Amino acid sequence: MASKGNFFYSSVMPKIYGIGAAVVILGAMFKILDWTGANLMIGVGLTTEAIIFFLSAFEPRQEEMDWSKIYPELAEGAPAKKSKGDDVSAKLDDMLSKAKIGPELIESLGKGMSNLATSAQKMGNLADAAVATNEYATNVKSAAKTLADMNVSYSKTAAALTEMSSASQDAKAYHTQIQTVTKNLSALNAVYEMELQDANSHVKTLNKFYNSMSTAMAGITEAGKETEAFKNELAKLNQNVSSLNKIYGGMLSAMKG
């Protein structure tokens, strides 16, 4: 029975853990995305998780391994073994004593190594000095080449300045011509302005004349209207006089008769 329980918890329960976790994740995904059946899925997932926790409560305790079987020195009351480092040190001391290598020889060897390092450092300094000399010669050659290039550049600059001077003289002559043209244009503008002023004066005079003519024509028109009215009144007067003459003629005829 115990072996069956161990088989269940050692082989089956890990698979149940994975399947239950997958069901819980699906339920949470349905709930988060608000899909259809989200409440059912989250309920199934939480129920599955609860069942898994319930089963895990009955998981048997695993027996601890007896490490003293692999490392006997861990067992209680076991004598302490001598470390391998101590054996190696003892063997090395024995070899040095047999070869008659004492502290004086080791110290002399150390001094020799120190002198060798100092000599190597000095040789390195000499090499650095040689390299510096070569670099200095290279720099001198580069400086000479640079001076030659500067000389060529100076010659080109002088030629360019000469051309600029000639161009400056041409520019001065052109500027003088521009000033002359500007003066002529100013004079023409003055003449045109005077002509415009005269034209404006003539236009004003003509406008006054036209206004006077319009007033005179209006007066003539009004006089014509008054003359026409006078003619009408005169015609009426003639008619009245004719009527009176007829009346007087009739009266005279009546008086004579």
Q: With beta carbons less than 8 A apart as the criterion, state whether 16 and 55 touch.
A: yes
Domain ranges of the chain: 1-59
* CA distances to 219, 228, 236 from 224, in Å: 9, 6, 18
**In the prediction, which pLDDT does 1 show?**
46
pTM for the full model? 0.27
Give the integer Cα–Cα distance in Å for 44 and 51.
Answer: 11
**In the prediction, which pLDDT does 79 show?**
56
Question: Could you report the per-residue pLDDT of 19-47, keeping only the tens digit for each?
Answer: 999 999 999 999 999 999 999 999 999 99
| Average pLDDT of the residues of the chain | 75
Read off the pLDDT of each residue in 161-170 and give the average, rounded to a whole number. 65
Q: Give the DSSP per-residue string, 29-53.
A: HHHHTT-TTHHHHHHHHHHHHHHHH
Question: Could you report the per-residue pLDDT of 72-88, keeping only the tens digit for each?
Answer: 767 665 555 555 555 66
What are the φ/ψ torsions at residue 80 (nearest 5 degrees)? -70, 130
**In the prediction, which pLDDT does 85 show?**
53
Q: At what angle do helices 38-56 and 13-32 cross, to 10 degrees?
A: 150
**Quick check: 52 pLDDT over 50?**
yes
Band the pLDDT of 53: cuts 50, 70, 90. very high
Instruction: Report CA Rg, the chain.
Output: 69
**In the prediction, which pLDDT does 60 show?**
80
